[in-house]
Structure formats: structure tokens, C-alpha cells
Amino acid sequence: MEFITETLAGFTAMSHWEYLAVALSMAYLLLAIKESLWCWPAAFFSTLIYTIMYWNGALLMESLLHFYYMYMAVYGWVIWRKGSADQHGLVITSWRLKQHFAIISLTSIVAVIFGYIMTNYTHAEFAYLDSFTTCFAVVTTYLVAKKVLENWLYWIVIDAASMYLYYEKGYYPTLALFIFYTIMAAWGFKTWYEEYEQNQAKPLAQL
């Protein structure tokens, strides 16, 4: 009962700005699925709100990550507006396990370094977990841009870890959004995997 009371209190206490950010984030996802150019303005303004919110909530790495997302929103708008032939011609690929091992190892090292710095020289909370989700989100965003099939598996882990951060900080609408993101990431992997098998006519890349 206490958990339910605290959760409901968290929802009612949230700023209208966070609800707007959640709505814009969902709009971005739906518009992106439809390949609508207007997904990028939705992404830009949602990340702007989150950047400020995370900074005020002492999730500094999350705040910095959303500066990167804002840049990507502008970049996406420019590329989609030009109607890049390369973008439309990009096919889904699968990277080898040793490539993912290298990515995970190097990104983890960088995340630990950032976590140490944030723990000892800033007022950041959950510094190491915040750093891990941030560093891996940066790398995974690149994997999305390259249409690497396994990006969805990275997002499932990142989103699940982020859910713990948002629960601890009391960002309940955003927590609900990331539950939705996690489910969508699983569905995205299934969809991309089916398309990859159909187009490539071969199983996932092996070692």
C-alpha cells in the first residue's frame, strides 16, 4: 500500500514539463516509425526539457547525453529534409560477437572513468550507473544510425537500467515511458531480425 501511495504521489507531483517531454518523446517514436520529418522537432524539444530536468535532478551524465540527442535531432532534420539516397538505401546488418565484445569492453572502461570523475568531483548521484547508461546510449545511437541489428539488444539493457534511475529520482512519468521503450526495443529487434533474415538470407553473424 505504501508503494502504491508513493507512486501515485510521484505522478501527481511531477511538473507539467515532464509530461510534455513524455508526450513529445512518444510522438517522436510514432512519427519516426512513419518516417515523418516532424519526428525531429519532437525529439529536439523533448530532449531540451529532459536536459534541464536531469541537470536539476543531479543526473549530470543524463543531462549531457541529451545535449548529444539535441544535436542528433538537428542532424536528423537536415539529413531527412535533403532526402539522402544513402539513408534510404541503408540495409540492416549484423556485427560479429567479437565486435560487440570490443564495443562493450571499451565503452565500459570509459564509463568507469567518467563515473569516477563524477563521483569525486561533482554533485552527481548514481554516478557510475548514470555514466554507464550515458556512454552506452551514445554508442548505441551510432549503431542505430548504421542500422546494426543488435542495437535493440543494447537499448533493452540501457532502458531497463535507466528505469531504476528514474524510479529512484521519482521521475514516474519518465519511468513509464522507459517501460514502453523497453517493450518497443524488444519488438524492434524482432522486426529487424525478420527483415534481416529475409534480405540477407543468412543467420546472424558468427564469431
List all residues 6 or more positions away from 104 whose beta carbon is below 8 Å from its beta carbon.
none
Q: Is the pLDDT of residue 207 over 50?
A: no
The structure's pTM equals 0.71
From residue 72, how far is each of 8, 43, 129, 141 by CA, in Å? 34, 9, 23, 9
pLDDT tens, residue by residue, 85-139: 554 545 778 999 999 999 999 999 999 999 999 888 877 778 898 889 989 988 9
The pLDDT value recorded for residue 3 is 47
Alpha carbon 93 to its chain centroid, in Å, reads: 20
